[in-house]
Amino acid sequence: MICRLQDIEINNERPFQNCKLGRKKYADILEKVVSFYSGGCVLAINGEWGTSKTTFVGMCQKQDR
């Protein structure tokens, strides 16, 4: 049996508002790394199943740039 927690709500104006894991600091670092490569780059976010990679990307997408 696979148990899955309910997805957290990602607020459009403050996407990291409901994040209890302090992921905003990692999103800020990631933004700096990506913006350094103005010509483009390939990035992989690697982690075990269920470690909220999709949630993190969703939060990053809604973060103001």
d(CA 38, CA 19): 29
Percent of the chain with pLDDT over 70: 97
Q: What rounded mean pLDDT belongs to the chain?
A: 88
pTM value?
0.78
The dihedral region occupied by 33, where left means phi > 0, alpha psi between -120 and 50, and beta the remainder, is alpha
Q: Which single residue is written with the structure tokens 């010509």? A: 39
Question: At residue 65, does pLDDT exceed 80?
Answer: no
User: Buried b vs exposed e over 54-64: b needs ≥16 C-beta within 10 Å?
Assistant: ebbeebbeebe
